[in-house]
Amino acid sequence: MNQIQTILEHNKEFVANKEYEAYRTGKFPNKRMVIITCMDTRLVELLPRAMNLRNGDVKVIKNAGAIISQPFGSVMRSVLVALYELGADEVVVVGHHECGMAALNSDDMIQHMLERGIDQKVLDTLEHSGIKLKKWLRGFDNVEDGVKSTVEIIKNHPLLPPRVPVHGMIIHPETGALDLVVDGYEN
């Protein structure tokens, strides 16, 4: 049985046994927050537990490194939707120690693309079209700088409602210990 079949078999039992009832909640975040965090697998259950969050408490946006690299990209759009349409009134950026984006090497990733079947002609076409893959695939030098950079992009966004606190934290992926690196209430 493949992974998708396994998931679907489990889901049939999950629904039949009404296990979903424990997770019922509304679409608006109870704690009126939106969190941007990393997609690291170690944070899936650890982050909510470390922050005392339950299903329905916050909106969570995950991507590689908890980074907003484009002020008018999909991550920032999701932040604005959470703030304007879904009742959030605070933003928290949560990076983590040992993040793969701190070690991301764009040359290595491009080589992996070639090894997995992306044709060099495709990469050349993108480059000639003005897409700088090495810059686009770049991570950050350290997690604190990555968090602070994303907080600054959000805080300085022209469509951010006035007086919305934007916080920055770093979580340790082994212990769940949180460090506050930007206190949004101070600004």
Query: Contact at 8 Å (CB) between 160 and 83?
Result: yes
CA atoms of 70 and 13, how far apart (whole Å): 41
Q: What pLDDT, on the 0 to 100 scale, is given for residue 14?
A: 97
Q: What pLDDT, on the 0 to 100 scale, is given for residue 144?
A: 96
Task: Please say if the pLDDT value at position 141 is more than 90.
Answer: no
Q: What are phi and psi of 183, to 5 degrees?
A: -95, 105
Q: What pLDDT, on the 0 to 100 scale, is given for residue 1?
A: 79
Average pLDDT over residues 40-48: 97
Q: What is the token pair recorded at 46?
A: 């650890």
Per residue in 65-124, pLDDT (tens digit) is: 999 988 999 999 999 999 999 999 999 999 999 999 988 899 999 999 999 999 999 999
pLDDT above 70 coverage of the chain, percent: 99
Is 0.85 topped by the overall pTM?
A: yes
Q: What share of the chain is helix, strand, coil (3-state, %, to 5)?
A: 45, 15, 40
